[in-house]
Amino acid sequence: MVWSDPEIKKLSQEFVTAADEVYSLYPEHPDHLKRAAEREDHRFFRRFGEAMPPAHWNEEGTKQGIYMIGPDAEYLEGRFAASGDPADIRARLRRALERWDRMREDKGYANLPVPRRPWSPPLEVEGELILRVNVRDLPRGDGDRSGARRHELPESGSWREFARWAWNEDWVGLSTASAFVPSGSGEVEVDPKVWREVVRKKFIDTVRGQAPEWRADEVKEASLTMRRTEDGRIVYQGRARAEGGGRSFEAKVYGEGVWESAAGRFASFDLVALGTRRGASRFNQRENDPGPAPMGVVLSLSRE
């Protein structure tokens, strides 16, 4: 992650940015690669890769990285696993723009402004209530840097705050917002079916990498109540506990929301879960940090 660097932010505005699951574009498994061979997105990405310096393409393994690609898959710049060094990315963005200037003259490409588009969540996230999910490690005590993204902090710069704690981001879409709106003034339960699905899908340790959702039978507790306050807020309180496959997460939940009845939507909505996670899954990089350790999950209104 280098995108908080001021110069990189400015340079990146010259590009149309995109992100994709690289295994879908260029699978490593021979059978999966064979099935992808005739897809246009794979052919496009493969043509680009074949034009790259071999050491930067990582021919024999995953193609995760940062790549600057021309409109016909031309090589502008890029490198496998290149997200950790701001100075390197700055230099590559500059070289990519220099190559683009030469290429567009040679091929007659138009240098149109990058279109501005309103923010939106990933295409697969749909629903009346869309929440941004942030999950992160929490401090474990004075001098304990186990929850840091990197153990050696940079001396200065915007990268320093990012590296202080490990975190990740996701989204969840709910078909209806009314499940989180009480009809009266007393304390009532949020629809258990809706809340259990949130816990099952999003109360997982993805702080450092990927982890599977909980199976339905692994969600041992998922309770959330709501009540209106005299000043019009909705207050939420509850608990969540899931365990299975050698891992677990148990947390207390607190939240607040403001519902606009006339508009039929939330003006604000935040839920915070603080608890303890244990264990590891195959791709979440907890082999050397199985816990128990504190972890937090935040669900907040995601409109723009």
Please say whether the dihedral angle defined by the alpha carbons of residues 80, 84, 88 and 92, taken in this order, is positive or negative.
positive
The stretches in the chain having pLDDT less than 50 are 158-159
Tokens of 189: 């339960």
For residue 171, the cross-strand partners are 132
Secondary structure class of 262 (helix, strand, coil): coil
| pLDDT tens string 118-154 | 777 787 888 899 999 999 988 887 777 666 665 555 5
Q: Give which of 296, 210, 212 is closest to 253, Cα–Cα.
A: 296
d(CA 20, CA 208): 18
pLDDT on residue 119: 74
Q: What pTM was estimated for this model as a whole? A: 0.71
DSSP class per residue in 155-212: SSSTHHHHHHS-EEEEEEEES-SGGGS-SSSS-EE--HHHHHHHHHHHSS--SSS--P
Secondary structure of residue 237 in the 3-state scheme: strand
As given in the structure block, the two tokens for residue 9 are: 């932010």
CA distances from 264 to 35, 119, 205, 258 (A): 46, 21, 33, 11
How many other C-beta atoms lie within 10 A of the C-beta of residue 285?
A: 16
The pLDDT assigned to 86 comes to 86
Strands (E), 5-113: 65-69, 75-80
Paired tokens of 191:
């629809």
